[in-house]
């Protein structure tokens, strides 16, 4: 709400934001990053519209986390990545509605691991741009109570824009101020302009003006969002719900373009997760006789830009897949 805030209130908010940041910095533990490594675990889709079995979901998330870190269990991986003092923001991508959004069961399984780490429920916040999108995707929106919180940014952005490379944006206060750690919890799908919408394009939901940054296959803008200190400094993990994936016609859900990929992917390297998504999307496109993303003139160029920024390994041929 741009106009509901007076200048004085604004000054107050900015002050609060800075204080929050300073507090956050004290609790941030550096995540171990296994560059180029993507952990994979199977989780076949249920028959028809069946939701994934919660036990199987928990097993798959744990296995993917263990595989991506090389640690013995999902629990150990979460312990290495997060501190008990962290406030963890889990950015979901619910644009695709019930048909193609992260499954609440998987988010719940991940949140359970965070709780086991000692992070209390009220400091585990799954979010997306709006509460309405979350509801549509089957999430139970709540600002208190439950095993983890779940709500939309709903226009709660910083009052002043902040610059990173080519972007100038107001970040969600959840990201700039509230959370000390971030997780990009996306899906595996084709995107009409970005090429791939996995963990990185999902980060567009952190800024107030993503519509400004769709030129040139979203390059360098996606990389610039990732490279912003709020994001680069806090993003610990990418999880991709690839139970069902979409190889064409994104970002909207398109029933004729989805296929049962049956995999959960996790990586502490945000580029590697997307590079893997690119690979599997192209493989499915090939199988269907569709041109590759490169041929379709929408390769996810932002990956090589982010790689140039030193943020990870974004070349599909250079990543290591580890099955859990």
Partner 1 sequence: MSPTLTRRELAAAACAGAAVALLPRSADAASPQVGDRIAAEDLPAREASWYRKLPESRVECQLCPRGCQVADAERGGCGVRENRGGTYYTLVHGVACTVHIDPIEKKPFFHVLPGAQALSYATAGCNVECKFCQNWEISQFRPEQAEARYLPPETLAQIARNNGVPLLSATYSEPVVFWEYVRDTAAAGRKVGLRSTVVSNGYIQEKPLKEVLPLLVAMKVDLKAFSERFYKDVVRGELKPVLKALEVIKASGTWFEIVVLLIPGLNDSEEEVRALTRWVKTNLGSEVPLHLTRFHPTYRLTNLPPTPLETMERAWQIAKAEGLAFAYMGNVPGHPGENTTCPGCGKKLIRRIGFEVLENTMAGAKCPQCKRSIPGVWS
Residue ranges binding partner 1 (CB under 8 A)? 1-4, 6-7, 95, 130, 132, 154-155, 157, 161, 163, 168, 191-193, 208-209, 211-212, 214-215, 249-252, 254
CB closer to partner 1 out of 99 and 146: 99
Distance CA 45, CA 61 (A): 14
Distance CA 314, CA 20 (A): 32
CB of 219 to partner 1, least distance (A): 15
Contact (CB, 8 A) for 291 and 248: no
CB of 163 to partner 1, least distance (A): 6
CB of 297 to partner 1, least distance (A): 11
CB closer to partner 1 out of 148 and 253: 253
CB closer to partner 1 out of 127 and 157: 157
CB of 220 to partner 1, least distance (A): 14
Distance CA 78, CA 117 (A): 7
CB of 193 to partner 1, least distance (A): 7
CB closer to partner 1 out of 3 and 30: 3
With tokens 């932002």, the residue in question is: 302
Distance CA 307, CA 23 (A): 30
| Per-residue burial over 110-134, b = 16 or more CB atoms within 10 Å of its CB, e = otherwise | bbbbbeebebeeebbbbbbbbbebb
CB of 107 to partner 1, least distance (A): 22
CB of 81 to partner 1, least distance (A): 32
Angle at the Cα of 48 from the Cα atoms of 44 and 54, rounded to 5 degrees? 50
CB closer to partner 1 out of 140 and 216: 216
- Measured in residues, the chain has a length of 324
Judge residue 26's burial from the number of C-beta atoms within 10 Å of its C-beta, 0-12 exposed, 13-18 middle, 19 or more buried: exposed
Distance CA 126, CA 148 (A): 7
CB closer to partner 1 out of 5 and 318: 5
CB closer to partner 1 out of 7 and 30: 7
Element spanning 240, H or E: strand 235-246
Distance CA 183, CA 231 (A): 10
């Amino acid at each position: 709400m741009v106009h509901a805030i007076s200048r004085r209130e604004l000054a107050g908010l900015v002050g609060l934001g800075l204080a929050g940041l300073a507090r956050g910095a004290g609790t941030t533990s550096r995540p171990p990053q296994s560059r180029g490594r993507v952990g994979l675990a199977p989780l076949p889709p249920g028959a028809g519209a069946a939701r994934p079995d919660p036990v199987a979901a928990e097993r798959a998330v744990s296995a993917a986390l263990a595989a991506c870190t090389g640690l013995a269990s999902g629990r150990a991986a979460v312990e290495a990545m997060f501190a008990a003092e962290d406030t963890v923001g889990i950015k979901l991508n619910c644009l695709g509605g019930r048909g193609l959004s992260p499954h609440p069961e998987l988010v719940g399984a991940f949140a359970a691991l965070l709780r086991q780490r000692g992070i209390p429920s009220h400091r585990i916040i799954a979010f997306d741009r709006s509460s309405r999108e979350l509801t549509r995707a089957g999430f139970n929106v709540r600002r208190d109570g439950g095993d983890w919180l779940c709500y939309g940014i709903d226009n709660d952005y910083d009052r002043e824009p902040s610059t990173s490379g080519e972007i100038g944006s107001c970040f969600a206060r959840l990201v700039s101020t509230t959370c000390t750690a971030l997780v990009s919890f996306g899906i595996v799908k084709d995107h009409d302009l970005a090429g791939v919408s996995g963990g990185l394009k999902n980060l567009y939901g952190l800024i107030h003006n993503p519509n400004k940054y769709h030129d040139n296959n979203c390059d360098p803008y996606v990389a610039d969002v990732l490279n912003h200190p709020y994001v680069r400094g806090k993003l610990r993990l990418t999880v991709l719900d690839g139970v069902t994936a979409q190889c064409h016609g994104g970002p909207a859900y398109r029933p004729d373009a989805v296929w049962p990929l049956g995999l959960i992917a996790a990586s502490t390297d945000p580029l590697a997760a997307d590079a893997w998504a690119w690979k599997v999307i192209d493989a499915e496109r090939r199988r269907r006789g569709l041109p590759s993303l490169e041929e379709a003139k929408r390769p996810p160029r932002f990956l090589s830009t982010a790689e140039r920024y030193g943020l990870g390994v974004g070349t599909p041929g250079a990543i290591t897949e580890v099955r859990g």
